[in-house]
Amino acid sequence: MRASLDPADLVKRHGGRYAADLGIDLAAPDAGERFKWLLAALLYGTRISESLATRSWKDFAARDLLTPERILQTGWDGLVAILDAGGYVRYDYKTATKLLDVCTALERDYSGSLDRLHDAAADARDLENRIKALAKGIGDTTAGIYLRELRGIWAKADPPLSPLARSAAISLGYLEQEIEPDRAMARLKTMWAAEGGASNGFADFEAALVREGLRLRRLGKREPHSRSP
């Protein structure tokens, strides 16, 4: 099967990293940028629409609640109020508790720095496990959302390919239907490099595939048994 669109053109059409849309510079020296994206990933990982999650993150940004210290100072009641305003009525209590637990664990175990968490990890799997261990309720989906955008920035950030990205890659002709997940990731990385893409830009291609996968899912063309990113 021949690809219907060059990888670079797909990124131009859909956009790259979600973090960039929020004004977050994941490659910046300031570790606080990586925390801003973790906050966003925690919101996107909840069973709520992307638009509401984005709006909630912007509410946090407008209130300057983008560090572990500020979130802890806000407290549970304050976080619930902000989440309710953002549309998290069904998940406000759990999400507020999760945010406080994450910030408490970061401060206690890594001096508030996600870069320290990364440096302490032995490998990609340990990094993923450390992210999930920050709080009850952080699963594979949230960890994957967070770490895939750090691929090419953090040396140990190498999560599995999102089912949505794989589904889109098959639909666009980048991959064969029967390809195994591990080989799918390697194939896409090789394709990206062959097209002249920088190694730290592969995450933009991956994010564009996720966006295409979401578009196909909305159209009812998703692959059977696919899950959210």
Q: What is the pLDDT of residue 86?
A: 80
The better pLDDT of the pair 134, 87 is held by 134
Listed residues 79, 106, 139: the one ending a domain: 139
106 pLDDT band, cuts 50/70/90, is: very high
What b/e string do you get for 157-191 counting C-beta neighbours within 10 Å, with b at 16 or more? bbbbbbbbbbbbbbbbebbeeebeeeebbebbbeb
Based on the fold, state whether residues 172 and 67 are members of the same structural domain.
no
Based on the fold, state whether residues 47 and 101 are members of the same structural domain.
yes
Domain that holds residue 168: 7-17+160-218
Per the CB < 8 A criterion, the answer to whether 159 and 144 are in contact is: yes
Based on the fold, state whether residues 59 and 83 are members of the same structural domain.
yes
Q: Tell me whether residue 107 is in a domain.
A: yes
**Sign (positive or negative) of CA dihedral 73, 45, 148, 200:** negative
Q: What average pLDDT score do residues 183-194 get? A: 94
Q: Tell me whether residue 146 is in a domain.
A: no
Q: Tell me whether residue 227 is in a domain.
A: no
Q: What tens digit of pLDDT does each residue of 63-86 get?
A: 999 999 999 999 999 999 999 988
Based on the fold, state whether residues 134 and 169 are members of the same structural domain.
no
Listed residues 106, 139, 172: the one ending a domain: 139
Q: Tell me whether residue 147 is in a domain.
A: no
Overall domain count for the chain: 2
Based on the fold, state whether residues 182 and 114 are members of the same structural domain.
no
Percent of the chain with pLDDT over 70: 95
Q: Tell me whether residue 228 is in a domain.
A: no
Distance CA 158, CA 4 (A): 27
Asked whether the predicted pLDDT for residue 1 surpasses 70, the reply is no
Q: Tell me whether residue 151 is in a domain.
A: no
Q: Tell me whether residue 226 is in a domain.
A: no
Asked whether the predicted pLDDT for residue 46 surpasses 90, the reply is no
Asked whether the predicted pLDDT for residue 2 surpasses 70, the reply is no
**Chain centroid, CA 103 distance in Å:** 18
> Tell me, what CATH number does 108's domain have?
1.10.340.30
Based on the fold, state whether residues 117 and 183 are members of the same structural domain.
no
Listed residues 139, 170, 190: the one ending a domain: 139
Asked whether the predicted pLDDT for residue 38 surpasses 50, the reply is yes
229 pLDDT band, cuts 50/70/90, is: low
Based on the fold, state whether residues 76 and 171 are members of the same structural domain.
no
